[in-house]
Amino acid sequence: MIKELLEQLAPLDAQIAALRGGDLDEDSQMAAITAHASELAELAVEEDEILRCCGPLTAEDRVFLARHPERPHIDETINALFTDFFEQCGDRQCREDRAILGGIARFHGMPVTVIGHRKGSTLEENMACNFGMPGPEGYRKALRLMKQAEKFGRPIITFIDTPGAYPGKEAEERGQGEAIARNLMEMSGLTVPVIAVVTGEGSSGGALALGVANHILMLENAVYSVLSPEGFASILWKDASRSAEACEMMQLTAPDLLRLGVIDDIIPEPEGGAHTAPVVALRQVDRCLHRHLAELSKESGASLAAGRYQKFRQMGAAAPDKEEQ
């Protein structure tokens, strides 16, 4: 359903971009917007009418939106939410992995360490970042930055958006499984606040390796699961075409995971998904992050580590009744 609606919106978006003078400089864009104000207003009303037809989203719809190529990525998120970002590269053992972006920044004036999966926005960037699938070097880089943050008392904020860790032969030879497992172990004992935000798709251990946090937040149309719906359907039914059915069974949406106690908060998105109004979506992320960080900053290091450990130990201990599933 949502896919068809977004296809209807595509030509309207193109018209709006052309009238706004998207390729022009800032002054020329302002002049174009002023000159075409009435046309832009009419197109905006037309878009709103289409979006109002959206209705309740299915799990399959949310998977589609979570994977949308124009959804805000880590670079845009850092630019919008943080100041004074200084990127740190390399795992100090093997090489740099561009599928993980990390560094030091300020969040509302507070020094923090920011780490996230990076997919890229163009085909060239996608390939350079391995489509957001890190190798062991990426996870070791992330852990290096986390341990540095703990040493200097900086809160850690991670952004999760990956189809999973890279499963290639070379990655396994260099210790992919060990790198992910070590992150899980080390993150469970960190004595600084850790907040994870699932912004797109969070699949498998490749997502969890940045997700052992005190508070886990999810954008409304993000998904978080042990594997992709296509992989689930292939394993369970030997038929990847049944992925829509798998989406419902896996309970991978933000409302499902909040009910199950896996996540702590849902960040609302604009109608039609975060990509339709990235500035609005990132403003919501900022507000939610600020609130949760203020809450966690009141706790001691020992309390943060103990609370995080218990949070994950208790997951799944009390499974919901079948009637609730």
Is-contact 162 207, C-beta < 8 A? yes
- d(C-alpha 108, C-alpha 99), whole Å: 26
List % helix, strand, coil for the chain (3-state, nearest 5).
55, 15, 30
The single-letter code of the amino acid at 192 is V
Is-contact 187 178, C-beta < 8 A? no
pTM of the model: 0.85
- d(C-alpha 119, C-alpha 111), whole Å: 25
What are residue 11's phi and psi, to 5 degrees? -65, -35
- Distance (Å) of CA 245 to CA 7, 103, 257, 300: 23, 39, 18, 44
pLDDT the model gives residue 41 = 77
pLDDT tens series, the chain, 325 aa: 666 666 666 676 676 677 677 666 677 777 777 776 777 777 677 666 666 666 688 899 999 999 999 999 999 999 999 999 999 999 988 889 999 999 999 999 999 999 999 999 899 999 999 999 999 999 999 999 999 999 999 999 999 999 999 999 999 999 999 999 999 999 999 999 999 999 999 998 999 999 999 999 999 999 999 999 999 999 999 999 899 999 999 999 999 999 999 999 999 998 888 988 899 999 999 999 999 999 999 999 999 999 999 999 988 776 555 445 4
Please report the DSSP string for 60-97 in residue order. Answer: HHHHHHHT-TTS--HHHHHHHH-EEEEE----SSS---
Closest C-alpha to 199, from 214, 182, 211: 211
Burial of 101 (0-12, 13-18, 19+ CB in 10 A): buried
Query: 3-state DSSP call for residue 225?
Result: strand
pLDDT the model gives residue 322 = 47
Please report the DSSP string for 149-175 in residue order. Answer: HHHHT--EEEEEEES-S---HHHHHTT
Which domains occur in the chain, in start order?
Answer: 2-55 (no CATH), 63-316 (3.90.226.10)
Closest C-alpha to 217, from 284, 304, 165: 284
List beta partners, residue 195. Answer: 157, 215
pLDDT the model gives residue 300 = 96
Query: 3-state DSSP call for residue 218?
Result: strand
